[in-house]
Structure 1
Amino acid sequence: MELRWLEDFVVLSETLNFSRAAERRNITQPAFSRRIRALEDWVGAGLVERTTHSVALNPSGQHFLAHARAVCFSLAQAKREASELAKSTHTSLNIAATHALSFTFIPEWLRQQNDVMSLGPLNLVSDSMQACENLMQKGEIDFLIAHAHPDAPSELQTPQFQSRVIGHDQLMAMISPSLASQIKTTKHPAPYLAYSQESGLGRIIDATCKHTNTDGLAKAGFTSHLAATLLSMTKSGAGVAWLPESLAGRDRDTGQLEIFNPDFPTIALEIRISRPRQRLSKIAEELWSSLPLS
């Protein structure tokens, strides 16, 4: 069995598409398919159900996926730890954060941490929740900072990882005053601007608002994993979007945005920092120890 077979299988589980998975692995689709077949032969059971138009993990594949991810993570982490031990220079901190928090929460939070201790060299990656989780599962970052909600579990809520609350935020359905006025006149539903599947905020909205009466909203006509994109489109009058207060609060205070429907719930959010349970570099462990318990 080859490690790359496990890595292939993990990517296939994320894309559920042989062509996209092969592209991400930088090999041809026939070669990728042969490697998945080789893995299945080694396991002694089929792992995926293949049809003309779709791919899905079967029960054996779902069970095997957790172990495949754990092996890939452990080896990547061991490689990284060995590399860091071999370095005589100061190790940099590697932090990933979702886009919305990278614009708002992260700069001030990092300044506060630097007041407590010298963080030294820092590599900050800003991406979607799904991409950040992938980096953590591959052992390529020390910490992930993202919005969280109890009803929308993260892929990192496993024994391999741990997290702490370092802040709070809230989601509100927002609209521009011009569009609100137009809707009152026409009585038409407001266009809905939604988060894509890669977005952690999208997961939270799906989990917490599935029983919410959304009268007055049309079906989603636009999606993005970027809260900043939805903010810009909402301000321009393109529709209604659930926006974090940390990002849209100033625009609400200045009158560029307003609450769409006071009857819609406000969704309370935690801002969490997650890490692997395995020991990190000295500076990463010092940062973790300085954070309040939660």
Structure 2
Amino acid sequence: MHLIWLEDFIELARTRSFSRAAENRFVTHPAFGRRIKALEQWVGAELVVRAHPVSLTAAGRLFLDAATHSTDVLYAARAQLQDASSPVEKTLRVATGRTLARTFFPDWYESINQRFGPFPVSLSTGGAQEVILRLGTGDADLLVIYSSPTTRLLIDPMRYESLTLAREILLPVAAVDAKGRARFKLPAAGTAGAAALTPIPWLGFSQSLTLRGVLAKHLAGLSRKIALRMVYEADSYESIHEMARRGAGVAWLPQRLVQEDLSEHRLKIIGEPEMRVNFDISLYRMRGNDNALVNAIWEGVSSDAIEQA
């Protein structure tokens, strides 16, 4: 049995015409008929009713499914093997958080592409522990992540080295009302009485978010405490961002995430400068990495990055 016989039969079933199928298969009508007959002899049953238009027998309808599936599988396998045997351009595998994938990575990737030439990248996202694990298991070449007490606890400096790629700020923000005023306020220095003690609706980070520890440490270190009442908690900065835009409460969010809303006056920075939290966006790789592309990027980026301890 030849593969072309299956292809002939599939074309005949599609066109329901010996002459048209023969023309589409670039073979003469008699030769095409002989090939269909040879296929029927191999199968051991008549597959077509030779009438006008051509129709399939019960055996032909059953065999059509098998022929179609077989040709699809064979051609898919051939394509896969051809891809595997051809030279493959090295793909850079990067793991990062979902928010960074939208707010930071595109610009950073564009800059290193311009610097080192175009190359393919495979980006995977997830929570802090998830993306750190991908680096540790070798499923990622580089890790781009918010630097925090959590990441420094989870990432062993003996196994990994890091660079600071950029600075970021957690900004306290609130939605604006019809007059452009913030719907919520943080108490200013010297505020006393009921205004200082009234709990403020707060949109908080769940424990899985990297910046939870950053914010908690900062708030704990303030000279005056803020009365906050948790009204919403999520493991997604984007979800908290959306709730802040809807006026559900005060949120501390990365500047890159809220920049457009600040420019369009949908959100407003509230509180005094001491309420803002500075932190880093860091790049990690495993020590002893022998990937030439990773090493080239690392050496190039390290020239304008601040190495972390």
The 5 A counterparts of 1:26-175 are 89-149=88-148, 153-175=152-174
Shift of 1:216: 4.2
Deviations, residues 119-155 of structure 1 (Å, cap 9, x unaligned) = 5221101222221112122221111111224797341
Map of 2:266 onto structure 1: 256
Shift in CA distance, 159/119, structure 1 to aligned 2, threshold 3 Å: farther
Aligned to 2:279: 269
**Counterparts of 2:279 and 2:139, CA distance in 1:** 26
Aligned to 2:71: none
User: Helix, strand or coil: the match of 1:210?
Assistant: helix
What SS does the aligned partner of 1:261 have? Answer: coil
Identity %: 20
1:227 deviates by: 1.2
Match of 2:236 in 1: 226
| Alpha-carbon distance between aligned partners in 1 of 2:150 and 2:286, rounded to the nearest angstrom | 22
Residue 217 of structure 1 pairs with residue 236 of structure 2: no
* TM-aligned CA deviation for residue 214 of structure 1: 4.3
**Amino acid corresponding to residue 109 of structure 2 in structure 1:** L
Q: Contact 1:95/1:124 (CA < 8 Å) preserved in 2?
A: yes
Shift of 1:233: 0.6
Residue 103 of structure 1 aligns to a residue in which SS?
Answer: helix
Cα RMSD after superposing both structures: 2.7
Structure 2 residue 191 is the aligned partner of structure 1 residue 192: no
Q: Distance in 2 between matches of 1:117 and 1:239?
A: 44
Conserved in 2, the CA contact under 8 Å of 1:128 and 1:226?
Answer: no
Q: CA deviation at 1:287?
A: 1.3
The amino acid that maps onto 2:131 is C
Distance 1:275 1:148, change over 3 A: same
2:296 is aligned to: 286
Aligned 8 A contact 2:94 2:140 in 1: yes
The AA in structure 2 aligned to 1:109 is: W
SS of aligned partner of 1:130: helix
The amino acid across from 2:228 in the alignment is L
Return 5+ residue gaps in structure 1 as ranges.
Answer: 1-86
Q: Retained in 2: the 8 A contact 1:142–1:280?
A: no
The one-letter amino acid of 1:232's match is: E
TM-fit CA distance, 1:253: 2.3
Query: 2: distance between equivalents of 1:152 and 1:122?
Result: 24
CA shift, 1:181, in A, is 3.7
Gaps of 5+ in 2: 1-85, 187-193
Runs of 4+ deviating beyond 6 Å = none
Q: Deviations over 1:22-45 (max 9, x none)?
A: xxxxxxxxxxxxxxxxxxxxxxxx
How many Å apart are 1:285 and its aligned residue? 1.5
Structure 1 or 2, whichever has the larger Rg, is 2
CA shift, 1:206, in A, is 2.0
* Distance in 2, Cα, partners of 1:150 & 1:166: 17
Distance 2:95 2:302 in 1: 20
Q: Deviations over 1:174-215 (max 9, x none)?
A: 11123944779x965322111111111112112222233442
TM-score, structure 1 as length reference = 0.63
